[in-house]
Amino acid sequence: MKPTHVLPAALASLVVLACAAPAPADVAVGQAAPAFTLQDLDGATHSLSDFADKVVVLEWINPNCPVSDRHAREKTMTELADRHGEVVWLAINSTNADHGDYLAPAEHKAWAAERGIDYAILVDQTSETGRAYGARTTPHMFIVDEAGTVAYNGAIDDDPPGRKAKDERTNYVDGGLVAHAAGQAVDPATTKPYGCSVKY
Amino acid sequence: MRPATRALATALALAAALPAAGATGAWQANPQSRVRLVSAWSAAPASGPLRLGLELATEPGWHVYWKNSGDAGYPPYLDLSPTPEVTAASLLWPAPERYALPGDLEAFGYAGSVVYPVAGRLEATGRGRVTLAADLDYLVCEVECIPYRYRLELDQALAAEGRPPEPDPAIAPLLEAWEARVPVAAESVPGLEARLLLEPGPGAEATLEVRLEGAAPLAGGPPPDLFLEASDAYAAGTPRRVAGEERGVTFRVPLTFLRAAGATAPVEVAWTVTRLARPGAGGEVALAVEARQTVAPAATAAAGGEGPASSAGTGALLAALLGGLLLHLTPTLLPVLAVRGLELRAVEGGPAGAARSARATAVGAFAGSLLLGGLALAVHARRPGTGWGAQLQEPGAVALLALVATLFSLHLWGLFRRPLALVPAGPPPVGPDPGRSFAVGLALPVLALPWPLPPLTRSLGPALAAGAVPGLAAFAFLGLGLALPYLLLAAWPGLARRLPAPADAGGLRPWARHLVEALGFLAATAVVWLLYLLSRQLRSDGLALVELTLLALALLAWLRATARRRALVAALGLALVLLAGSVVWLAESRRLAPPEATRPVDPTVSTPNTQGDPRP
């Protein structure tokens, strides 16, 4: 590098530095859902675009997060997925492979089998998808409508500590799916997600 | 230790020394934390306001939550319905702290020890005692999170009929200390005025400005912080304090609206600002204030700017121009102007050659400012709320600027002839050299980065928020301000002729060389300023690492200037580039930052040794 190029190089490093750690982008309701292509625990590939004419529910998941695991034990998600059979349910795990919470596919599958989870669990190894959606917590829920637009972004229900009986909770995803199927607007369309932080 | 902290520590020590009876309930403990109810009364009035607290103590590194837990977690839920004598019970929320989690996530809460005051009313029938029972759910997190559920009980003695109630000598001051940390309504603070401004940005982005006029930061300790309550309308990013404010405390915080329409309608913002100085208390007593305000999107950028909006835009452009001009008085740009003036005096080809060189520098300054503007727009797209001054809040960028400023000082001291070759080395006549003059101009905006001049901090951020065209326009005017002195020299090259000739046939005259070297010391004050900034952003060992790198840079410069062994210099240069790169990377990735999330727990809180049960 010729010495005269030092300052432009410094300027360029500033660009790199400033862009190196973007905060998670929050995907807004009404915006196009960010596209993704991820592998499930069996290595099969799933793309959001595969389900272009369907409603898709995205659930950020982490078996080692007690809040995510509580919902798995209580069958919050599996029962809801069964209740809305026409909806594509995808769980996404954005846990960094260096983090203690990370599970190898075999262990992850064993957990899913134990909890009776039969929907696909996608591995977001680069955490790119998690950041594109602004996924903050496990669980963090999104509803993507038939047009590929985000219709809901937030918590699964109104009971973060799980202190109410299951049928006394307001399940926002259930309410959103019912409203959407009836041609109504999803309300509330946004809530504050709760749970463990996504282990980026 | 501040008086309030000392009082709190004393109160905690007293509380820890007491058995779990009387005004305290039994601890419920788990490996990460322990929790109990505490009462300010050893003998409570049978009827009256509750003076109860929920005391939570966490192990080092673990935290529990404020009412808005931040990006993850959830706040504690306390349910007093098992106690029929208590009505209208609710938790109060002392001023929180901010904890960084991996992935640029943040949590708001408390580490070490916290007492959440419990508001409510007690209506006992006066049988001597009442059992205060409550169900608690809470989440304690490090990076991991563990939920716990307990039934907490406190056996509260009641004052006998006709006897006055007795405050507990240990718990009453403890509870009062924590009650004092609960934010007060901003409008109740005399002389304080809170103004909110919402600047819509591109798409669903916006920047919220929270300005507290008449507020002062707490003396000593960490600076004030802003916390927003959770909203269904927007997600909030990390607030940045606006630097260089004399009266008041201002924060700018990027918002992302959760509806694609963005900021079109007024939104409700519930905010808390912590670590202000309590008025009339000598600046050392902390005050937190809160308010819930509705803010409409500002007209400035709403519709592309007509009428008052465009006049506000003109103001920003003039401020940028003024800022660009004022930058020439800063320790890094003044030497450039002085040396260039002398240099132009010596340019061969007389006034015409000098004019050409000066023009090239002016064009370089303008082009460099536009490049910087493009860079700022790119950063702003990723981090709304960025303005002039944001570069000084990133430890990596500050470390890099310190390296640049050091290089510049060494250059003026004559140890590096390049990169700018600003200092004339040989005897005159110096040929006109438009390429080099252009490079000097290009460097001006970079050398200007360490200086958060108010005209620039006030104007460039809002201009960037208003979109690409106003943003670039503001940077163009900044460039114009930077170019102006050189344009003057180009228009009237005779100006430089009035300066004494800096060189003769023997080379640079001694007085000129001494002047340039003295200007090197002026430039070195920029390094001191940047290290001062870093000292507030890095741990002391991190700061030492940066300083060692600067020293190594100086060593290399000296070796280059004196030694003739090219290979040695090249190897050292490579080692230095690696060292500098890793220091900047370490600083930027906050590996050198003070460990905020693991502040030491108050030593007066002993470690619980009973194993608690996580909820099944």
B547: helix, strand or coil: helix
Q: What pLDDT sits at residue A89?
A: 96
Chain A contact for B567 (CB, 8 A cutoff):
no
CA B377 – CA B387 distance, rounded (Å): 9
Closest C-alpha to B399, from B575, B523, B581: B581
Question: pLDDT per residue over B454-473, tens digit each?
Answer: 888 778 877 887 778 888 99
A175: helix, strand or coil: helix
- Mean pLDDT over A42-64 rounds to 94
Copy the structure tokens of residue A59. 């659930």
B296: left (phi over 0), alpha (psi -120 to 50) or beta: beta
Q: Closest Cα of chain B to A154: distance in Å?
A: 9
Beta carbons of B379 and A195 less than 8 Å apart: no
Q: What is the largest CA-CA distance in chain B?
A: 107
Beta carbons of A70 and B147 less than 8 Å apart: yes
Beta carbons of B143 and A197 less than 8 Å apart: yes
Residue B368 pLDDT > 50? yes
Domain B185-298, what fold? Immunoglobulin-like (2.60.40)
Interface test with A, best of B32, B64, B66, B74 (most A CBs within 10 A): B74
More confident residue, B242 or A160: A160
Q: Which helix (H) or strand (E) holds A138?
A: strand A137-138
Strands (E), B364-502: none
Other C-beta atoms lying within 10 Å of the C-beta of residue B495:
18
Domains of chain A: 24-197 (3.40.30.10)
Residues of B in contact with A141 (CB under 8 A): none
Beta carbons of A66 and B146 less than 8 Å apart: yes
Closest by Cβ to A3, choosing from B204, B260, B419: B419
The alpha carbon torsion through B226, B229, B232, B238 (nearest 10 deg) reads 30
With cut-offs at 50, 70 and 90, classify the pLDDT of residue B10. low
Beta carbons of B74 and A195 less than 8 Å apart: yes
- Alpha helix ranges (H) inside B164-251: 171-179
More confident residue, B298 or A185: A185
Q: Closest Cα of chain A to B378: distance in Å?
A: 8
Q: Closest Cα of chain A to B511: distance in Å?
A: 27
Residue B369 DSSP symbol: H
Residue-range domain boundaries for chain B: 3-182, 185-298, 312-596
Q: Closest Cα of chain B to A178: distance in Å?
A: 20
Question: pLDDT per residue over B34-81, tens digit each?
Answer: 999 999 999 999 889 999 999 999 999 999 999 999 988 899 999 999
Do residues B412 and B335 lie in contact, with contact meaning Cβ atoms separated by under 8 Å? Answer: yes
Residues of B in contact with A29 (CB under 8 A): 258-260
Chain A contact for B375 (CB, 8 A cutoff):
yes
Q: What pLDDT sits at residue B192?
A: 86
Closest by Cβ to B588, choosing from A20, A31, A134: A20
Question: pLDDT per residue over A76-92, tens digit each?
Answer: 999 999 999 999 999 99
Beta carbons of A195 and B257 less than 8 Å apart: no
Closest C-alpha to B503, from B343, B348, B350: B343
Other C-beta atoms lying within 10 Å of the C-beta of residue B550:
22
Residue B267 pLDDT > 70? yes
Q: What pLDDT sits at residue B226?
A: 95
Do residues A57 and A78 lie in contact, with contact meaning Cβ atoms separated by under 8 Å? Answer: no
Question: Quick one: what percent of chain B has pLDDT higher than 70?
Answer: 82
Beta carbons of B378 and A18 less than 8 Å apart: yes
Closest by Cβ to B230, choosing from A28, A67, A192: A192
Beta carbons of B446 and A10 less than 8 Å apart: yes
Residue B306 pLDDT > 60? no
Residue B304 DSSP symbol: S
